[in-house]
Amino acid sequence: MGILEVKGINKRFGGLQALGDVNLSVAENTTHAIIGPNGAGKSTLLNVLVGKLIPDSGSVMFDGQSVLGRKPHEINQMGISRVFQTPEIFSDLSVFENVMIPCFAKRDGAFRMHAIESIFAERGIQEQAEAILEDVNMLEKKDMIASSLSRGDKRRLEMAMCLVQDPKLLLLDEPTAGMARADTENTINLLKEIRQKRGITMAIIEHDMNVVFSLAERITVLAQGTPLVEDTPDNIKGHPKVREAYLGEAQV
């Protein structure tokens, strides 16, 4: 029984079958990659997991509870954090505020009317925020406005915002998309470190096979909205069906 159990998910957009009978099980304490050619339904699946899309049928269980029908913020409160393809951060706020906000969300829940307390008096939250910035090597940038960060730093900041919530499952949507080689290496190392240090379960959607094979412990291959195979990286590498799926894409 995995921490995330997806069973028989179907989703149609008009005449297009975006997801057809998707089953997926992400075991606790592993890194699970979901790969597949363009249009395979990876993003649709991800959006179902975080509550942005509601599937036509099927069930998604996380940690023994159903995810379906819940709003994104409720799903996050259940313990799923998401890293976006292009970092979604609070760009008008300082780096420090960016990481304080998830700390508050973790402590106080989806809403709390703490309108009179001062941020400066929240020592516990501040220490937490400083600790996570230290972990991602951004402490010296804590007073910078987030929009002025470099692309790589924005990515790290977003990662820090997710990690500080100590999620049970971290979803990563193409974390190295559009990155230079060196940045990609850094990100891989950062993710490996997170995996080892914190033991957070991760589900990664990725295009870059290099990233996938250096991180994943299990891989699910999606093609045309259905899972083709699920196996260990070594077995996936030479799998004929996988080759076919990717070659098929190349020919189109």
Partner 1 sequence: MLGLEKKDFRLLLIVIGLTMFAPFILNPFPEGSEMAQFNAGYPDLMQRFVIFGIFAIGFNILFGLTGYLSFGHAAFLGVGSYAAVWMFKLLSMNVLPAIILSVIIAGLFSLIIGFISLRRSGIYFSILTLAFAQMSFALAYSVLTPITGGETGLQLALDDPRILGVSQTESGNIPVPALFGLEMRSSYELELGAWLFTFNAGYYLAAFFMILSFYLAIRIFRSPFGMMLRAIKSNQTRMSYTGLNAKPYTLAAFVISGMYAGLAGGLMASMDPLAGAERMQWTASGEVVLMTILGGAGTLIGPVLGAGMIKYFENIFSKINETILHGWFAFLPDGLENFVVALIYPFIGKGWHLTLGIVFMLVVIFLPGGLVQGGQKIMGLFRRKKPEPTKPNATEPAE
| Chain contacts with partner 1 (rule: CB under 8 A) | 50, 71-74, 76-77, 81-82, 84, 88-93, 97, 100-102, 104-106, 108-122, 145, 147-148, 161, 165
Smaller CB distance to partner 1: residue 76 or 128?
A: 76
Strand order in the sheet with 31-35: 80-83, 169-173, 201-205, 31-35, 218-223, 226-231
Smaller CB distance to partner 1: residue 34 or 83?
A: 83
Element (H, E) at 193: helix 181-198
Smaller CB distance to partner 1: residue 8 or 109?
A: 109
In whole angstroms, the minimum distance from the beta carbon of 90 to partner 1 comes to 4
In whole angstroms, the minimum distance from the beta carbon of 31 to partner 1 comes to 20
Smaller CB distance to partner 1: residue 121 or 250?
A: 121
β-pairing, 16-26 with 4-13? antiparallel
State the Cα–Cα distance between residues 204 and 40, nearest whole angstrom. Answer: 15
In whole angstroms, the minimum distance from the beta carbon of 7 to partner 1 comes to 24
In whole angstroms, the minimum distance from the beta carbon of 190 to partner 1 comes to 19
Smaller CB distance to partner 1: residue 28 or 88?
A: 88
In whole angstroms, the minimum distance from the beta carbon of 123 to partner 1 comes to 13
Smaller CB distance to partner 1: residue 9 or 83?
A: 83
In whole angstroms, the minimum distance from the beta carbon of 155 to partner 1 comes to 13
Q: Three-state DSSP class for 179?
A: coil
| Cα–Cα distance list, 211 to 100, 106, 182, 187, 207 (Å) | 30, 30, 12, 9, 8
- Say how many Å lie between the first and final Cα of the chain, rounded: 38
Element (H, E) at 97: helix 95-108
Smaller CB distance to partner 1: residue 104 or 246?
A: 104
Spatial CA neighbour of 3 closest among 72, 92, 67, 84:
67
Spatial CA neighbour of 81 closest among 49, 128, 35:
49
Q: Give me the residue label for tokens 């699970």.
A: 32
Is the alpha carbon torsion for 195, 200, 203, 204 positive or negative? Answer: negative
In whole angstroms, the minimum distance from the beta carbon of 131 to partner 1 comes to 18
